[in-house]
Amino acid sequence: MKYDFEVELPDNWESRWGEAEAAAKKYDILLNREGDRIEVRGQSPIGTIAADILIDENNTAHVKITKKPMVVPKSLIESEVRKALNKLRE
């Protein structure tokens, strides 16, 4: 699978996962984590957005945007996902 972008995560990202889930819920975004794979699903005002994330042994999140409204650029979704994942670094 070709990924759209990558984000480096901190070594302690797993211990802070609850924070990411809580933040996502505020925006009605579902995060489904199974080991090193995460499914992201949500609704925007103009349609469904979805992404699959694979986290490798170096704590790099490889993100593939799998669904988006046609009029929403991938760069906008990337920006929002990066912001969310970077909160794990704070």
What is the pLDDT, as a whole number, of residue 53?
Answer: 95
Per-residue pLDDT tens for 21-77?
888 888 788 999 999 999 999 988 889 999 999 999 999 999 999 999 999 888 888
Query: Per residue, what are the HEC states of the chain?
Result: CCCCEEEECCCCCHHHHHHHHHHHHHCCEEEEEECCEEEEEEEECCEEEEEEEEECCCCEEEEEEEECCCCCCHHHHHHHHHHHHHHHHC
CATH number of the domain to which 63 belongs: 3.30.310.80
Please give the residue range of the domain that contains residue 43: 5-89
Domain count, the chain: 1
